[in-house]
Amino acid sequence: MRTITFDIDRFDGSRSWTQSYSFEHDPAHTVLSCLIAIKEKQDPTLNFTASCRSAICGSCAVRVNGNAVLACDTKLDSVLKQWGSDRLQISPLGNFTVLSDLVVDWSPKIERLRTARTGLKARKEFTAETGCQQTPAEFARIQKQWDCILCGCCASECNKLTDDRRDFLEPFVYTHANRYAQDSRSAEPMLHVREMLGRGLWKCLHCMECVTKCPKQIAPAADISAMRALAYANGVTDGKGPRHAAAFRTDLENTGRLNEVRLVPRTEGLIDAATGRMSFTFRMLKSGKLSTREATKLYFVDNSPIEGLDGLRKIIRYRRAK
């Protein structure tokens, strides 16, 4: 008999512990059906949430070995193969407050979702008689964002949220804001973008965890980029974020290479760059995260044009014209 073991993180409101449950391997199992079997046959006190069992409601997300998945949509065999072990750690979503075992608190997240102003303010020409229509092509621009089921997988693994939740929102909030900002029927797309500007739109670390973890293949990082572009096109060009984007593009147009020595002062100003970045470099050197050789490379960059620069400039011109 092949035995599978789940080490499940438990929490009863005051005490945390890990409890192990072993059961017979069944290739038909999903992670959720294993949890249900454990609750029904071994331990009725185990708490988790689930409803549709069809990857629609988003309520069953948990972490398997530290990676967020939809439990109902994750075959047991696929994670056993992925991790090469018959023993898996099952934990509640990260970057959420845990209420009990695998159950997390969504209330603060929903409050933060409200900041995206998720409601369509339709253009004036739409009336009760005309309806609020859009073409299939217009709908295609926001179709993916509509797939979000609010499972929280993106938020669970977001490195920026793990670092500091005070000046950044859950990736799905940006996706929802962009859904309305890009809607062809919207009277005021910047209504949603402006809200996000003051809530970390330029603070994304580009770790792409939200993109790789979304079970619906949505790309919140791309929604963040799209709203930055919209803000820039609407004249929001001041501040570190827009300056960084402009400096980035200038470097690419000039040589095709990013020149950190010039990029940072142009983004943050000479004094902030000199004090902030230099001390950051020294901290990284001291902690062993950066070697002297790597640090030297940061400041003495090759500034010669890359091969194929003309092609890159064509791409940039093409995107700018769109």
Binding residues vs ligand FES (CB under 6 A): 50-53, 55-60, 70, 72
Smallest gap from Cβ 6 to ligand FES, in A, equals: 17
**Rounded CA gap, 123 and 132, in Å?**
9
**Rounded CA gap, 53 and 268, in Å?**
48
Question: What is the tally of helices (H) and strands (E) in the chain?
Answer: 17, 7
Smallest gap from Cβ 52 to ligand FES, in A, equals: 4
- Which residue, 59 or 186, has its beta carbon nearer to ligand FES? 59
Smallest gap from Cβ 35 to ligand FES, in A, equals: 11
Beta-ladder partners of 15? none
- Which residue, 53 or 262, has its beta carbon nearer to ligand FES? 53
Smallest gap from Cβ 178 to ligand FES, in A, equals: 23
- Which residue, 57 or 191, has its beta carbon nearer to ligand FES? 57
Where on the phi/psi map is residue 119: left (φ > 0), alpha (ψ -120 to 50), or beta? beta
- Which residue, 36 or 219, has its beta carbon nearer to ligand FES? 36
- Residue 196's nearest CA partner among 228, 160, 157, 221 is 228
- Which residue, 96 or 180, has its beta carbon nearer to ligand FES? 96
Smallest gap from Cβ 292 to ligand FES, in A, equals: 50
**Class of residue 6 by CB neighbours under 10 A (exposed 0-12, middle 13-18, buried 19+):** buried
Smallest gap from Cβ 69 to ligand FES, in A, equals: 10
**Rounded CA gap, 196 and 227, in Å?**
8
- Which residue, 55 or 208, has its beta carbon nearer to ligand FES? 55
CA 241 remoteness from chain centre: 18
To the nearest 10°, report the CA torsion of 197, 203, 206, 208: -70
CA distance readout (Å), 242 to 236, 246, 247: 7, 6, 9
Output phi, psi for 184, to 5 deg: -60, -20
- Which residue, 215 or 242, has its beta carbon nearer to ligand FES? 215
According to DSSP, the β-strands at 87-91 and 3-11 are parallel
Smallest gap from Cβ 191 to ligand FES, in A, equals: 30
